[in-house]
Amino acid sequence: MLLLQSRGKLYVVGIGAGRGLLTLKALKAIEESEYVVGYEKYVKEIEEFAKGKKLITTGMREEMKRVEIAVELAKKSVVSLVSGGDPSVYGILPFVFEFLMKKGEDIEIEVIPGVTASSASSALLGCPISGDHVVLSLSDLLVPWNVIESRLLYALRGGFVIAIYNPSSYSRKENLRRVLRLVMEERGDLFVGVVKNAFREGQSISIVRVSELTENPDLVDMNTTLIIPNYETIVKNGKMFTPRKYEAKKMGGITRGALEIVERSSEILKNIVPGDGLREEILRRCIATTGDPSIKDAIQFNGDPWEGVEAIKKGSRIIVDVRMVKFGLRISSICAVDFANGDDTKTSSGLKSLEKLIEGSVVGIGNSPSAAITLYEISKVRKPRFIVATPVGFVNAEESKQLISSLEIPSITTKGTRGGSNICVAILNCLVEYAGRSD
């Protein structure tokens, strides 16, 4: 609140995105006011709460005129300058502060926030906006179109749910077409939430494909809010829902073509290994990294894989045998070969050098059977929290993994001669990802 000495007061009041969304604080400010100033449409929406007040209205694009009137009145009287939605989000508030700072006017001002069109539209559609999102206006009256287009492109590529205000008017149909082309190019022909006149007379709610909206642009006008979902958003039974829990299941896909391939791959993997548990996800990732569905039969779980997740979540260090595993991880790790100093294999001597750090760590062996054998010996005295051992080969590979499996330490191993650093990385990254989730 900006407080200057005066006898009057200016409330800048957000009246919400539609009828019934006026907050108690906004209502109290209006009740305290002698004057209510605003765009004629918004003043009419709240006139039942402004009985006995002196109402002053102006037309569209007369923001500065409204501000000047309200500020002048607020020098001696209590005034509510009303704004649709929230006054700071595409509302009247920036004009108020611009005027005050230029003129140096001596008034008291209090801002009353309001329910935005994006929040109201999201509620009507279900819950598409549940976390990080971008709000963007397509009106180019105050912002050049090239800036708007650039911001939209960054938002699309950033994976945000996007709420679009002022998507179309009689003179700006082409802007909407450009936006829909960009959405199609970046995210494909997905479903879009279309909310017209949210919580007002003439309200309509629909969920349509981008292609359908392109063919029927009259579904959209200045009173419409578009909600562009991201690749996490679920559309089902006439509702849109974006989970709070982030699922990094798109394998790095960002472009339309990549996302389509990822979606098909995910469906295929889900058919090979159904289920939503951690074990099933680990198996799917091992199949994805090898391209071999039969690898699922070679993965052996000893104990609960959630032990690995909990260890990483609580800050256990990760120690790996070779750089190929180290460089593949999404988290920092200690690499055994970097500490090699003996006549044994580099991985084995490196692990011996790190012996004191093994206890309480998560250890990944992706390449070296000799490292797995050394780890087995060390683990008898200094127990790690969790082990992933997938060394590949025909000499000691199978035997080394059998030794790891015999330990009373939770682990994931591969059977027989099969395995490799890529499988070790896939398993460890899955544990790391699950450890990073908020729930």
Q: Where in the chain are the domains?
A: 9-115, 118-241, 273-435
What six digits make up the tokens of 137?
Answer: 């206006």
What superfamily does domain 273-435 belong to in CATH?
Answer: Cobalamin biosynthesis CobH/CbiC, precorrin-8X methylmutase (3.40.50.10230)
Q: What is the per-residue DSSP string for 192-204?
A: EEEEESTTSTT-E
Q: What percent of the chain has pLDDT over 70?
A: 94
Over the range 261-278, which residues count as b (16 or more CB within 10 Å of their CB) and which as e?
ebeebbeebeeebeeeeb
β-strand partners of 269: none
The CATH architecture one would assign to domain 118-241 is 2-Layer Sandwich (3.30)
Q: In the structure, how many helices (H) and strands (E) does the chain have?
A: 17, 19
Q: Which one-letter amino acid corresponds to residue 63?
A: E
Task: Give tens-digit pLDDT for 19-66.
Answer: 889 999 999 999 999 999 999 999 999 999 999 999 999 998 899 999
Task: Give tens-digit pLDDT for 264-284.
Answer: 888 899 999 999 899 999 999
For 53, 56, 106, the CA distances from 72, given in Å and listed in that order, are 17, 13, 10
Contact between 371 and 365 under an 8 Å Cβ cutoff? The reply is yes
CATH, domain range 9-115: 3.40.1010.10
* Phi, then psi, of 367 in degrees rounded to 5: -130, -40
- Could you give the CA distance from residue 377 to residue 389 in angstroms, rounded to a whole number? 14
pLDDT per residue of the chain (439 residues) written in tens, 0 to 9: 454 444 799 999 999 998 889 999 999 999 999 999 999 999 999 999 999 999 999 998 899 999 999 999 999 999 999 999 999 999 999 999 999 999 988 899 999 999 999 999 999 999 999 999 999 999 988 899 999 999 999 999 888 999 999 998 767 778 899 999 999 888 888 899 999 999 999 999 999 999 999 999 889 998 999 999 987 899 999 999 998 865 554 555 555 566 677 778 888 999 999 998 999 999 999 999 999 999 999 999 999 999 999 999 999 999 999 999 999 998 889 999 989 887 778 999 999 999 999 999 999 999 999 999 999 999 999 999 999 999 998 999 999 999 999 999 999 999 999 999 999 999 999 999 999 875 5
What six digits make up the tokens of 228?
Answer: 């562009």
- Could you give the CA distance from residue 187 to residue 168 in angstroms, rounded to a whole number? 21
Contact between 155 and 162 under an 8 Å Cβ cutoff? The reply is yes
